[in-house]
Copies of this chain bind each other. A is one copy, B any other.
Amino acid sequence: MTRAGDLTTPVLLADVGVLDANVATMSAARPGPALRPHVKAFKCTALAARLAEAGHTGFCCATVREMEGMAAAGLGADLLLANEIVDPRAAGRLGALVAAGARVTVAVDSSETIAVAAAAGIGEVLVDVDVGMPRCGCDPADAGRLADEARSAGLTVRGVMGYEGHLQHVADADERRSRTARSMAVLADAHAVVGGDVVSGGGTGTWDCNDVVTELQAGSFVLMDGDYARLGLPFAEGLVLLTTAVSVRPGRHAALDGGLKALAMDSGDPRLVDDPSLAAGVGEVLFCSDEHTTVAGGSWSVGDRVGLRPAHIDPTIAKHEVLHLVDDVRAGGDAEVLESWPVDLRGW
């Protein structure tokens, strides 16, 4: 048996019980194809396979590399690239997946992206509609014209997508619900013009208040993070960066051997796991540097294993080569390692 304490730190651990419970909660509300899990959240085909076993066999990707990796892992039954492709070579890589038997759908929001998809042999598209987040997506008024253009180019238009990313972290549940309804009304109107069976969108934050989408593009719910934890959703945090205290100044601070190269910082500092079995004392994070996190207010000894909960899981996992599934992440170094999953969808 391998214990987490046998692994070289810093190392990422995922709690099997939390993962399974989060998936069960989501699957009950969004069964089968009503959930299109977003693999950008975890970049790991082994974790995706677990979602497929739970009945969610259509997946959402953000990069061509994710699409390729999913197809190579036999998870290419229905892959959506929820992103725009302009580079003909990148589109050609998707065309090769289609030729090899994967089902590939891409988002289009311009004449250019339609032309590239058609030329590359990607047969199916969704019209991506701007539903209020300034990123990708066409002017809603252009959705019908783009659908016509795509069909004229020989593409099958499966429907629409629109991501209300700007609403995922709205703290007040009522406000999140009402703003999501307004945002999704835009998507519903576009869908009425575009046609097709698919209305794709949503995420972990709007999992229970997006009543328009036929498929929810959620991913972070599987292991959650500090950012989403503030919303009080019925999903628990299951990801921990296990570190070792490599330098201790008693009564002052300790330096842990995992820093901002092992943790995403876009949503702020990590938090110490507050389970007393994991460290000798509970304290607070002072700051992260490249390879260290300095903590204070607790009591640590050199060599202690100390767990940190990341503020944002997606880019945290993307910094690691392996994600270890353990029986109880709160057990720290004593946790049993059940499986070690390559983070095999990194890069572009």
Interface residues in chain A, defined as those with a beta carbon under 8 Å from any beta carbon in chain B:
8-11, 40, 62-64, 83-87, 89-90, 109-110, 112-113, 128, 130, 134-137, 139, 165, 244-249, 252-253, 255, 257, 260-262, 264-266, 286, 288-292, 294, 296, 302-303, 314-315, 318-319, 321, 347-348
Known: A110-B248, A264-B265, A348-B8. A83 touches B291 (CB 8 A): yes
Known: A8-B89, A10-B348, A244-B87. A292 touches B112 (CB 8 A): no
Pairwise interchain contact A90-B8, C-beta atoms closer than 8 A: yes
Pairwise interchain contact B252-A290, C-beta atoms closer than 8 A: no
Pairwise interchain contact B291-A85, C-beta atoms closer than 8 A: no
Pairwise interchain contact A261-B302, C-beta atoms closer than 8 A: no
Q: Given the complex, which residues of B lie within 8 Å of A64, measured CB to CB?
A: 8
Known: A130-B249, A290-B40. A303 touches B265 (CB 8 A): no
> What is the CA–CA distance of A261 and B136 in the complex, to the nearest angstrom?
17
Point out the residue from B86, B113, B134 that lies within 8 Å of A294, measured CB to CB: B134
Name which residue of chain B comes closest to A320, CB basis.
B347
Instruction: Report the minimum CB–CB distance from A18 to chain B (whole Å).
Output: 22
Known: A89-B8, A319-B318. A84 touches B246 (CB 8 A): yes
Point out the residue from B128, B253, B286, B314 that lies within 8 Å of A290, measured CB to CB: B314
Contacts A130-B249, A262-B348 known; 7 new A-B pairs at CB < 8 A: A9-B348, A112-B303, A135-B253, A135-B289, A135-B292, A264-B265, A265-B266
Pairwise interchain contact A261-B318, C-beta atoms closer than 8 A: yes
Pairwise interchain contact B314-A112, C-beta atoms closer than 8 A: no
Pairwise interchain contact B260-A315, C-beta atoms closer than 8 A: yes
Q: Given the complex, which residues of B lie within 8 Å of A130, measured CB to CB?
A: 249
Pairwise interchain contact B264-A109, C-beta atoms closer than 8 A: no
Point out the residue from B264, B292, B294 that lies within 8 Å of A260, measured CB to CB: B264
Name which residue of chain B comes closest to A321, CB basis.
B347
Name which residue of chain B comes closest to A66, CB basis.
B291
Instruction: Report the minimum CB–CB distance from A252 to chain B (whole Å).
Output: 7
Q: Given the complex, which residues of B lie within 8 Å of A165, measured CB to CB?
A: 289
Pairwise interchain contact B314-A135, C-beta atoms closer than 8 A: no
> What is the CA–CA distance of A62 and B87 in the complex, to the nearest angstrom?
37
Pairwise interchain contact B8-A87, C-beta atoms closer than 8 A: yes
Instruction: Report the minimum CB–CB distance from A265 to chain B (whole Å).
Output: 4
Instruction: Report the minimum CB–CB distance from A112 to chain B (whole Å).
Output: 4
Known: A255-B135, A348-B10. A291 touches B62 (CB 8 A): yes
Pairwise interchain contact A62-B290, C-beta atoms closer than 8 A: yes
Pairwise interchain contact B249-A139, C-beta atoms closer than 8 A: yes
Instruction: Report the minimum CB–CB distance from A13 to chain B (whole Å).
Output: 14
Instruction: Report the minimum CB–CB distance from A272 to chain B (whole Å).
Output: 16
Pairwise interchain contact A252-B134, C-beta atoms closer than 8 A: yes
Name which residue of chain B comes closest to A258, CB basis.
B348
Name which residue of chain B comes closest to A137, CB basis.
B247
> What is the CA–CA distance of A244 and B139 in the complex, to the nearest angstrom?
20
Q: 10 A–B contact pairs at CB < 8 A?
A: A8-B90, A62-B291, A84-B247, A84-B255, A113-B247, A136-B246, A262-B348, A265-B265, A290-B314, A290-B315
